[in-house]
Amino acid sequence: MKFRHVLTGLVFTMGILAATALTSLAAIPTGRFESVNSTAVCGWAYNSSAPNDALTVRISITNKETGEEVFSQQVSAGEYRQSLYNKNKGNGCHGFTLSMDWTAYPAGSYLVEGFVGDEEFINPMTYSNGSDSAQSAQDSQGTQNADGTQSDKSQESGTGLVPLGVFKTTGYCPCKGCSEGWGRHTCTGAIAKAGHTIAVDPRIIPYGSKVMINGVVYTAEDRGGAVRGNHIDIFFDTHAETRMHGTQNAEVYLVMS
């Protein structure tokens, strides 16, 4: 009997040790960029040992030519992301949107890095200032953010954003193939503008709604035969930009005015 007690104690101790090891493994926070564009840096950070905590992340931007860190700022990652919630990442409130004014920096190539605790984000980004594009330094799939060339300024405050979840985004342009001869004429009568016009399923997003995608605020003012449900078609000036955008998934926010 005594031997059995020792054995039970030993098994118990080993169980505690294993649990401790697992916990310490799981306790490493992870962070990831969602997008870097001309107006904002978006991403999320999460620690499974504190699944409902909003972590603080630090965003660092380095001029690739000079090696100089030109920007360093801490931001709380507490925005709700439906996709994180769906992946059982606690309460899903782990996203951040940091407004960026790239016009304050000289044109050139910038490395955008994120840190959460001692951990670096797994997908550092490269932003080409002046050409309005960003891509992940590690991303070989070529998912480039070819968002509109301009953006409305109304998203600066970052307040009044209602998450609508993840949408499929595609692009279209005035060409015959994309717009079947309608050119820039939208179904609401507005003339389509890049960085402004999106086509939506009006049952999901009513016409006139302001919608933020990757930090750019668009207006829902068109529709498309193939645009149904959680799908948004983003207007571009050229078919080359349309092709570059391809098909992406993005967190979409309704901007309340």
* Chain residues that interact with Zn ion, rule: CB under 5 A: 173, 175, 178, 239, 242
Q: Are 230 and 166 in contact (CB under 8 A)?
A: yes
Q: Which is nearer to Zn ion, 32 or 239 (CB)?
A: 239
| CA–CA separation, 61 and 8 (whole Å) | 54
Q: Using alpha carbons only, how large is the chain's radius of gyration in Å?
A: 22
- Closest approach, Cβ 49 to Zn ion, in A, equals 48
Q: Which is nearer to Zn ion, 175 or 254 (CB)?
A: 175
| CA–CA separation, 31 and 58 (whole Å) | 10
Give the residue among 244, 164, 144, 145 at the shortest CA–CA distance from 210.
164
Q: Which is nearer to Zn ion, 36 or 173 (CB)?
A: 173
- Closest approach, Cβ 177 to Zn ion, in A, equals 5
Q: Which long-range contacts (CB under 8 A, 24 or more apart) does 128-137 make?
A: 129/102, 129/105, 132/37, 132/38, 134/35, 134/36, 134/37, 136/33, 137/111
- Closest approach, Cβ 70 to Zn ion, in A, equals 37
Q: Which is nearer to Zn ion, 95 or 171 (CB)?
A: 171
Q: Which is nearer to Zn ion, 127 or 172 (CB)?
A: 172
- Closest approach, Cβ 175 to Zn ion, in A, equals 3
- Closest approach, Cβ 42 to Zn ion, in A, equals 27
- Closest approach, Cβ 198 to Zn ion, in A, equals 15
Q: Which is nearer to Zn ion, 170 or 214 (CB)?
A: 170
Which strand (E) or helix (H) includes residue 69? strand 69-77
What are the CA-CA distances from residue 210 to residues 57, 73, 117, 151, 225 (Å)? 28, 28, 35, 12, 21
- Closest approach, Cβ 246 to Zn ion, in A, equals 13
| CA–CA separation, 175 and 239 (whole Å) | 7
Q: Which is nearer to Zn ion, 173 or 255 (CB)?
A: 173
Q: Are 137 and 144 in contact (CB under 8 A)?
A: no
